[in-house]
Structure 1
Amino acid sequence: MIFNIQRYSTHDGPGIRSVIFFKGCSLSCRWCQNPESESRNYELLFDDRLCLQDCRLCTNNFPHIFYKENNNLRINRDIISNEEYIALKNFCPSTALSLCGEEKSPDQIMREIHKDRAFYLRSGGGVTLSGGEPFMQPELALELLRRCREVGYHTAVETCLHTSWKQISPALPYLNLILADLKHTEADIFRQWTGGSLKRILDNYRRLSAESEADIIVRIPLIPQFNADKATITTMVDFVAHETKAKEIHFLPYHKLGMNKYKLLNIAYLAPQTPLEDIELLAFAQQYAQQQHLTPILGG
């Protein structure tokens, strides 16, 4: 299952690219900018700013799902079946309700990818698998990467590496570039903020560096109260410099651009309320990375 195909991207790898967003992630990072990507299943987004309050199509047709409380629409999201999710796609006349998630076959996705073949070949671009976590759907990821390489497209994957090695390794021969996250080097703090195992990620980094021919770029999101301090940045840069083969490191200052998506999903936003704008800290991160013979990029 995917939730978006973004065409004409100039990020997420070299050149002009198509980015395929996979649904499903094994982490629950508090600051995630794509919270709709975490679940492997369909999800319903509701934007009350677009709702036609007197419409009542949803409450009349799906009264067990939608109801009014104090003149506000409420949704029983936990009881929606897959069939009902599909029935709700394009159901709302004002698009206040929208469905996130779409089942697409490799053939269908490749047809979308091929539309921009000329742009890939002229710009040195290609296809990037993102998410969510692409390696949580290893069969689909492998098939798309294999087909892309067969026709000469540059291939990349954005990954948190929080999955088993057996889900990652089959795709490696078909990858030109791996854009991998590194979020912390302290296991307890990492688990508190993401719900995941840091050991799994660090072990996968080491195996990638030993067994993969793909280029690796490490991306570090800098989050206030979590890892945006000189000591933590130092340990992360040291890990990249001494235990991976990466030569380039991207520092991604925290922002709140994904905050509204939490409201659309009716889930709490637990990340800091203030963006990271510490110029001195960002300068330190770049300078220290250079001292460790890495190429730092601010923003990625």
Structure 2
Amino acid sequence: MMQTGMTFNLQRYSTHDGPGIRTVVFLKGCSLACRWCQNPESRRRQPDLLFDSRLCLTGCQLCQQAGLCLVSDAAGQRCLSRCEQDRPALETLRSLCPSGALSVVGETQSLATVLAQVKRDLPFYQRSGGGLTLSGGEPFMQPEFTAALLQAAQAESISTAVESCLHVPWHYIAPALPHLDLLLADLKHLDAEPFLHWTGGRVEQVLDNFRRLKHCAVPLIIRIPLIPGFNADLATLCRLFDFIVEQTSAREVHLLPYHTLGQHKYQLLGEEYRAPGQPLDDEALLSQAQLQARARGLHAVLRGQA
């Protein structure tokens, strides 16, 4: 199995990505381009270059000397010219910028290196019922590394979980299932057109994977990001609840209200943010959604915002 993977973050002491205290390893690469994505730097399988103009020392010129080009956008903010970003090898830029305005996101790491970091908090997992969670991006976009890391964690008596959008071929998922203690999977919509418009993906691939998972023994929690204009209405949510009850094994659903906390990352990447400009603020909808889910026998939990 693959012994190296492309990671972009490791978060210790997490309490929102599965039970107990957990270490979350973020893997790069995703087959969706959700408009509201909190981690747009996770989408590509390769490293990405972020530029924060607020930190830039304008007289430095080290980035220009390395082959990058700084320009001004329509708002007068200094940014990287997109056509120039692929010129120099990103690996050469990791320690280039003295002010931290430039940062490279994404690093190839060995399984042994990642596992050693995860094992540092083994006593916390044992006391709290926590463990390792793989997130992203989409962990199953690196199927061999994901399966190998989960297997290695279980061999160390570390509980395992994966956060997934399930927009991948089934044969990317299947190798990990014997080494998985919990799957937290997103269910965003049931209809092909809005799903394509808001995420760039094929909804049937996601729904088919949910149906396949119904016949597997892996515990499943379904998460629904509530996005205004996309699925944050009671009729759509009731249809999602019906699908969960009828075609999946899940009996717990997490409702994740939309927020805009990741919006600034798009500017750092030089990309346009195309999701709603305001967070979801609809207590009546959240209350009714929880009632409708519970009426169908689902354990509905209002979690941290999507």
The TM-score with structure 2 as length reference comes to 0.94
Higher mean C-alpha displacement, 82-91 vs 157-166: 82-91
The corresponding residue for 1:66 is 69
Structure 1 residue 68: Cα displacement: 4.5
AA aligned opposite 1:84: A
* Matched-pair contact (CA < 8 Å) for 1:31–1:270: yes
Q: Do the aligned residues in 2 keep the contact of 1:44 with 1:77 (CA within 8 Å)?
A: no
Where in structure 2 are the equivalents of 1:65-104 lying within 5 Å?
Answer: 65-69=68-72, 73-81=78-86, 84-104=89-109
SS at match of 1:297: strand
Compare 83-92 and 145-154 and name the one that shifted more: 83-92
For residues 43 and 118 of structure 1, the distance between their equivalents in structure 2, rounded to whole angstroms, comes to: 34
Cα deviation, 1:176-230, whole Å, max 9, x if unaligned, reads 10000000011111011101011000000010111x2111000000000000011
Aligned length, in residue pairs: 297
Cα deviation, 1:215-249, whole Å, max 9, x if unaligned, reads 10000000000000111011011111111110100
**AA partner of residue 34 (structure 2):** C
In structure 2, list runs of 5 or more residues that go unmatched.
Answer: 1-5
- CA deviations over 1:64-108 (Å, ceiling 9, x no partner): 322355986442444545962011002111101111000001011
Tell me the residue number matched to 1:218. 222
Aligned AA (2:213):
L
Contact 1:66 1:73 in 2 (8 A): no
CA distance in 2, matches of 1:82, 1:174: 40
Establish whether residue 187 from structure 1 lines up as the match of residue 188 from structure 2.
no
Aligned-residue Cα RMSD (Å) equals 1.5
Partner amino acid for 1:198?
V
User: What TM-score, normalized to structure 1?
Assistant: 0.96
| Structure 1 gaps, min length 5 | none
Alignment partners' CA distance in 1, 2:200 and 2:70: 33
The one-letter amino acid of 2:224's match is I
> How has the CA–CA distance of structure 1 residues 78 and 176 changed in structure 2, closer, same or farther, with 3 Å as cutoff?
farther
> Contact between 1:66 and 1:75, CA under 8 Å: does it hold in 2?
yes
Deviations 1:119-168 (A, max 9, x none): 11111110000000000000100010001111111100000000000000
**Aligned pair partner of 1:202 in 207, 221, 246:** 207
1:254 aligns with one of 235, 254, 258: 258
The answer as to 2:272 corresponding to 1:279 is no
1:52-63 alignment, distance < 5 Å: 52-59=57-64, 61-62=65-66
Letter in 2 for 1:95: G
| Matched letter for residue 249 of structure 2 | K
1:288 lines up with 2:292 in the alignment:
yes
Counterpart CA distance in 2 for 1:269 and 1:67 is: 21
SS of the aligned residue for 1:256 comes to: coil
Aligned to 1:270: 274
Equivalent AA in structure 2 for residue 142 of structure 1: A
Q: Does 1:234 align with 2:238?
A: yes
2:260 maps to amino acid: K
CA distance in 2, matches of 1:72, 1:40: 28
Amino acid at match of 1:296: A
Q: Distance in 2 between matches of 1:66 and 1:126?
A: 43
Cα distance in 1 for residues equivalent to 2:70 and 2:109: 32
Deviates more, 1:110-119 or 1:283-292: 110-119
Q: Secondary structure at the match of 1:21?
A: strand
Equivalent position of 2:150 in the other structure = 145
Quick check: 1:65–1:77 contact (8 Å CA) kept in 2?
no
Separation in 2, partners of 1:285, 1:157:
25
CA distance in 2, matches of 1:182, 1:18: 24
- One-letter code aligned to 1:103: T
